[in-house]
Structure 1
């Protein structure tokens, strides 16, 4: 059983404005920018982010890469490539959980103490919001239960519906 962790919070905000050590980008496999949160992060971070991403050579689904935050308030951007929803029978849940675990592991590696996540894969990638929120919150809570050195994990949701889905899962833990 997972116990609620005071280090987890849910807010409705613009992730590009958060003053945290690291923000997670819901990136595409090229890491060269896109729409939604990915495009917003690239716009605010400035052209140096794109230049650094070009040197990373992309990223497979379920994995993560890190860059500097450049013009963002966050020091680091952890680019997580979530799965495209294809009906739920192509390991989408496992790949999404892997994004969260890998992002947290990488945050710890760069000594980030505060990390903010968007709702990975729930935009254009079509992952069902409630299922994605359940995977996100339970994966983060399980990871934090392992006595990892993070002070706070924020689920930074862009819409009220997404925030509420994350809050419902957190309340059930």
Structure 2
């Protein structure tokens, strides 16, 4: 067995796929691998975002995450008479799975997007939010913004009491 075969088998056992890339795409593939393997918050976020795409047979074109349900919409979009239909979807709940047909998936997506728009617009038009609205997307300065977000989270949540602290208080 060649070293290539052993490496490919070991990577496949870990859920990775080793593939050959055309010469003109080598640099792009190398950049993608570098971004995915970064040992920091950005690398973890990229790997987390990519993981659902690797668990289904068809490309995932949308995911709707609820508290107890997940809808994974599969593509690509199939155009028929001016309408676009996904190839289907799979709904996951604590009770099991449900596969939906293309037309059902399209109807469900329309309902979900309308519900999302309704909630987001309610927040956007709230009088308390009006002073914070801007006409363009605000850039993020990761180093400062992440620290500010952590500070806001700490100030909005009560301190956690550990069991040993509670025992000391008694």
Give the TM-score band, short-chain normalised: under 0.3
Q: Going by fraction, where is helix more abundant, 1 or 2?
A: 2
With the length of structure 1 as denominator, give the TM-score of the two structures: 0.22
With the length of structure 2 as denominator, give the TM-score of the two structures: 0.22
Bigger RCO (CA 8 Å, 6+ sep): 1
Which one has the largest radius of gyration?
2
